[in-house]
Amino acid sequence: MADYKAPLRDMQFVLHEVFEVGKLWAELPGLAETVDVDTANAILEEAGKVTAGVIAPLNRSGDEEGCSWSAEGVKTPAGFPEAYRTYAEGGWVGVGGAPEFGGMGMPKVIGAQVEEMVNAANLSFGLYPMLTAGACLSLLNHASEELKGKYLPNMYAGTWAGSMCLTEPHAGTDLGIIRTKAEPQADGSYKVSGTKIFITGGEHDLAENIIHLVLAKLPDAPAGSKGISLFLVPKVLVNEDGSLGERNAVSCGSIEHKMGIKASATCVMNFDGATGWIVDAPNKGLAAMFTMMNYERLGVGIQGLATGERSYQSAVEYARERIQSRAPTGPVAKDKAADPIIVHPDVRRMLLTMKALNEGGRAFSSYVAMQLDTAKYSEEPTVRKRAEDLVALLTPVAKAFLTDMGLETTVHGQQVFGGHGFIREWGQEQLVRDCRITQIYEGTNGIQALDLMGRKIVGSGGAFARHFTDEIKAFSASAGAELAEFTGPLNAAVQNLEELTAWVLDRAKANPNEIGAASVEYLQVFGYTAYAYMWALMARAALGKEGQDEFYASKLGTARFYFARLLPRIHSLSASVKAGSESLYLLDAAQF
């Protein structure tokens, strides 16, 4: 397995040459005095050092050892506590946190690059600070000033960790049927009781306290999702002076034995009359939780990108060194018994697919992060509303498409290794196992597709999608003739997407099954079209520089591969959408 190296050159290209984020920051009052290009580059370079030097070396050993459970708690693999301490002391847990509570205050587009680095280095490790950051985001936006002041500084500092406790044994996506209860107490606190499952970082030895955000229902709560409230429940109670007090009535019943991310503790958490405090108002729990959902779902998409990047780095190194057979056109390495496998067409197909999907995904995740930053910091109502609409539209695409492509990419990387890809010591099979969860948690990709098709496309009458397609058409219209090889197929893809959207909107009027039947393939068409836009933007930034620097030549070659070999996938996917829902209902349940 190749040593991980943060792709800093490509990140800087996307941020500064493709999107020119410095201009965006200068226009946003909350960021203008916080970050500039030099600050951003310094942060990325330091993050690259800590992720490659401290966290990446623990990836395989953490997978081999895994987490262990006992009645006293959960133990993470050797080296994890020390690495977490180094990571926390560098301020990385609070990279996007509010400065007034000790965070760095960096925009999401910078946080997204840091997330990619830590997850590429070690996905299991990266989940711990990710859950803490998500909990912090909900508290920052919905908790009382008292709760924020009491908990956020230590959480941003990494001294205390966070978890999000949503799922129950009988209630996954359908949170409206949760059974966890919260009983109000005379002192304003609540007694929370219930069992939660699949809780990432619910218990571990990395921090001295864990702050659980728990969805529960009050005794008089209305039925369904409208009756959900959110509660802050610390593992260890905090005294008035900020010191730690007695252990709360919270315990970890067990940890899951998983296919991958074995160094990440996935816990069954029991709350037995645990003391907690309400976050926001009664019955407003889902709103508080969804504040962080767009950030977290983008974060999971970035996990798919990250595992694909790690797989590519190893695969391309292996392909350059492994000799096997001769090139179809004759010997290339004439001084060796065979040629390196990178000469073979199929190996090149796999490597270029990986490269195109990774670099397209990095640009797309950065683009979505920029919309989050605009929605958060812009003081112009129309600008902010457009960004919010784009975030709503693109979040399910980012989560699902990035992780679908992440799995495809890690599998290609494994395939490049041949038999060695199936062997543990080479590292590729771990990446496949680790990546697989990203398509499942934080809302399965099928649920993301249904959200895109049902809520964001049909629910808005196609208005959200028009924000995106109109932007692409405006880009193409302003592009010069030198970009025609990219804008031509891009325009055709946008036209196809618009026609597909209109088709589903029309069919859904008479048959609601069409929404679910079309959703997965529609999201895929959307994703490939969005990546085409990203590749056209990157080609514009690289064109004319290819003779000066191999980086730009590589970028243009990969862009041409994407348009030639990957974008055409939209045609078969579109045909599947237009096949309709009828064939899905030809069998009775007993006939399956």
Point out the residues that are catalytic.
Answer: 442
Contact 442, 297 (CB under 8 A): yes
- Using left for φ > 0, alpha for ψ between -120 and 50, and beta otherwise, residue 43 falls in alpha
Q: Which two tokens stand for residue 397?
A: 């695409």
Tokens 């055709």 -> residue: 492
At 507, the amino acid letter reads R
Cβ burial, residue 572 (10 Å; 0-12/13-18/19+): exposed
At 487, the amino acid letter reads T
Compute the distance between CA of residue 438 and CA of residue 126 in angstroms, rounded to an integer: 13
- Mapped onto helix, strand or coil, the DSSP state of residue 194 is strand
Q: Indicate if the alpha-carbon torsion angle 553, 405, 305, 422 is positive or negative.
A: negative
Beta strand segments in 105-225, E = 160-165, 181-184, 190-200, 209-216
For residue 105, the tally of other CB atoms under 10 A from its CB is 18
Cβ burial, residue 583 (10 Å; 0-12/13-18/19+): exposed
Q: Which two tokens stand for residue 107?
A: 């925009």
* Largest CA-CA distance found in the chain, in angstroms, rounded: 84
At 285, the amino acid letter reads G
At 585, the amino acid letter reads Y
Compute the distance between CA of residue 548 and CA of residue 530 in angstroms, rounded to an integer: 29
For residue 316, which of 558, 2, 13, 565 has the smallest C-alpha distance? Answer: 2
The DSSP code sequence of 502-563 is HHHHHHHTT-THHHHHHHHHHHHHHHHHHHHHHHHHHHHHHTT-TTT-HHHHHHHHHHHHII
514-518: Cβ within 8 A, 24+ apart: 514/580, 514/581, 515/450, 515/453, 515/454, 515/458, 516/450, 516/453, 516/454, 516/581, 517/580, 517/581, 517/584, 518/453, 518/577, 518/581
Q: Which two tokens stand for residue 398?
A: 């980012």
For residue 575, the tally of other CB atoms under 10 A from its CB is 10
Compute the distance between CA of residue 353 and CA of residue 562 in angstroms, rounded to an integer: 8
Angle CA 454–514–489, to nearest 5: 80
Strand-pairing partners, residue 163, are 212
